[in-house]
Structure 1
Amino acid sequence: MEVIGWTLIWVLFVISFIGLVYPIIPAVLFLAGGFVTYGLFFGFAELPWWFWAIEILFVVLLFGADLLANALSVKRFGGSKAGLWGSTIGLIIGPFVIPVVGILLGPFIGAIAAELIVNRTDLKQSVRSGVGSVVGFLTSVAAKGIIQIVMIVIFFVAV
């Protein structure tokens, strides 16, 4: 039973890292699912209150890092709220329309389209916004990946 428990925990952790690049997979839920799975298999008493407090803070930080990285990058490259929304929609739709490459092309094309359609900006500025959305996505993935690694290290320290 112990092997099954640890296998499930590791599978949930791996899925959480896949969720970093596929936004349709709620990465933080799978990560938290690994912690809960540990509690169900081995007992919640093994995970002290400080573990849960720290992990909850990191979950909030994960959501904040995602929103902040995208918003700052699009703004820094001259994009608008429309570009940010287009980027987000492209990030969700892109991987389904163009598997693998759509992860980067989706937000890029979405930001460009939104800037051109909603704000009627010129093509050069729209492309800059698209580049900003891709930079924001990659920055977000890196930040969230580091935070998730820290969360898993804290988990192993606690157990």
Structure 2
Amino acid sequence: MDVLLLILGFICVILGVFGSFLPVLPGPGISWVGLAFLYFTKAVPANYWVLGIALLITVIISVLDYVIPAKGTKRYGGSSYGIWGTNIGLIVGILAPVPFGFIIGPFIGAFIGELIYDFKDHNRALKAATGSFVGFLASSFMKFVICVMYLGLFVWIVWDQV
């Protein structure tokens, strides 16, 4: 059973790293589940401090993941239409068979959303779309760093305990 939990935990942590860029997968959450699987084994003694702090970080990062792209859009002069366009574009970009659709989708979605809000001001729409893109990149990078840290923690604990 321990080997199965270790394998499942490692798979979850690796999926979490990929999920930090793919919005379909909640990267930090999946990585945290991988850490929890690790502590369910008999080979690794439970450390509730590590799990608790990692859970707190995961919750904070998950909340910031929604706030940062919206703040980026607002900071660059976007409206709620741009924020909705970002979210819709993200979903369409993931589902569309376009390379890097999850990056292109939010940008185009914010641009279209801002054009719906004010069709005459193309510069403002482009600026808001750029803010959405910058916010998406910032939140993805932040999630990636946390997920790689969880992967390193997982490997370190396994190396040390097993």
The TM-score normalised by the length of structure 1 is 0.84
Q: How does 1:1-159 map to 2 (within 5 A)?
A: 2-40=2-40, 42-43=41-42, 46-120=45-119, 122-155=121-154, 156=156
Q: Which range moved further: 95-104 or 145-154?
A: 145-154
Residues 50-91 of structure 1: per-residue CA shift (max 9 Å, x gap): 122202211121113212321221112111121111101111
In structure 2, how many angstroms separate the alpha carbons of the residues matched to 1:39 and 1:111?
42
Distance 1:89 1:3, change over 3 A: same
Higher helix share: 1
Kept in 2, the 8 Å contact 1:74–1:133? The answer is: yes
Deviations for 1:23-64, whole angstroms, at most 9, x for unmatched residues?
Answer: 111223321321232234x14972222122202211121113
Check the 8 A contact 1:115/1:121 in 2, yes or no: no
Corresponding letter in the other structure for 2:39? G
Consecutive unaligned residues of structure 1, counting only runs of 5 or more, are: none
The alignment partner of 2:56 has SS state of helix
The amino acid across from 1:133 in the alignment is S
Q: State the secondary structure of the residue aligned to 1:34.
A: helix
Corresponding letter in the other structure for 1:30? I
Calculate percent identity across the aligned residue pairs: 30
- In structure 1, distance between residues paired with 2:120 and 2:58: 36
Q: Letter of the 1:125 partner, please give it.
A: R
Q: Which moved more, 1:11-20 or 1:67-76?
A: 67-76
Q: How many residues align?
A: 158
Cα distance, 1:4 vs structure 2 = 3.9
Query: 1:149 deviation in Å?
Result: 2.9
- Using CA pairs under 8 Å that are at least 6 residues apart, name the structure with larger relative contact order, 1 or 2: 2
Runs of 4+ in structure 1 deviating by more than 6 angstroms, as ranges, are none
TM-score by length of 2: 0.83
CA RMSD of aligned residues (A): 2.4
Distance (Å, rounded) in 1 between the aligned partners of 2:22 and 2:4: 26
Superposed CA offset, 1:2-28 (max 9, x none): 544333222211111111121111223
